[in-house]
Amino acid sequence: MGSYGITYRAIDYMTGNHVAIKQLRRTKSWTEDGKKSFEKEKQILQQLSLSEVPAVHHPSLNEQDRFLVMDYVPGKNFEDLIFAEGMVYSEQDAMAIFTQVMKIVQKIHEKGIVHRDLRIPNIISSGGRLHIIDFGLACKLSAEGQDKPTEQHRNLMREVSVTSDFYALGHFLLFLLYSGYEPQSKKENSWEEELSLSQEVHGMLRRLLQIDESFISAEEIIAHIQSISDRRETTKIM
């Protein structure tokens, strides 16, 4: 259940396949904003056409309700994996997962789309592959969105800019890295004080979270991860 929609798993009796059906909430279905949001999500899913993103099928419309019929992605999201199943990810594990996610995000950005909601419930692990779901807040990128001026108290996850996805993925990576953290005291400290990270990953997180100068593209992040890996391999050889 979300602010705009409710999603169900169902069976398509024409094919026998499981599908996901997202229904626009009744309170939203009568508003122009609600209708436009739903239509935008459908168009974005159609535009993406990626194996790591649920495909949208025939929409169903009637006078009372609006639906999106999409591929059902079996698997578990990272919120369940971390908090319900107690999965623990080492820095190496976390970076491997993060790299997979970044490669999907790179494809999404190349299609001119920014997700704006890359939280742990919206990233699913399914049969060893990762999928990104819930494009309800996604937007098309534009020159204006990329060049949007910054404000002191802006919502960094909701900007129509690729950096909003990088900021969200910084938090996604922190959730993975915190999965094995055991507090040493009742006092809460910042992640920089609590987590024992390599210098390279610590520096990358600061850039993702826009504490330091932000990355400007998914390609730059992937290249940065590769450079970290190359340096580590060189160190091993030496």
The domain ranges of the chain are 5-71, 76-237
Give pLDDT, residue 84: 97
Q: Per-residue pLDDT for 106 more than 60?
A: yes
Note the pLDDT tens digit of each residue in 192-233: 999 999 999 999 999 999 999 999 999 999 999 999 988 887
Give pLDDT, residue 146: 46
- How many Å from the N-terminal Cα to the C-terminal Cα in the chain? 53
Q: In the chain, pLDDT over 90 holds for what percent of residues?
A: 66
CATH class of 5-71: alpha beta
Q: Give the domain 76-237 fold.
A: Transferase(Phosphotransferase); domain 1 (1.10.510)
Q: Per-residue pLDDT for 28 more than 70?
A: no
Q: Could you give the residue numbers annotated as active site?
A: 117
Beta strands in 12-81, from DSSP E residues, in sequence order: 18-24, 60-61, 66-71, 76-77
Q: What average pLDDT does range 4-30 have in this prediction?
A: 84
Among 171, 146, 172, 169, smallest CA distance to 159 is for 146
Tokens of residue 68, six digits: 């999106």
Q: Is 231 exposed, middle or buried (0-12, 13-18, 19+ CB in 10 A)?
A: exposed
Single pTM value for the model: 0.89
Note the pLDDT tens digit of each residue in 48-87: 999 999 999 876 555 556 788 999 999 999 999 999 999 9
Give pLDDT, residue 63: 54
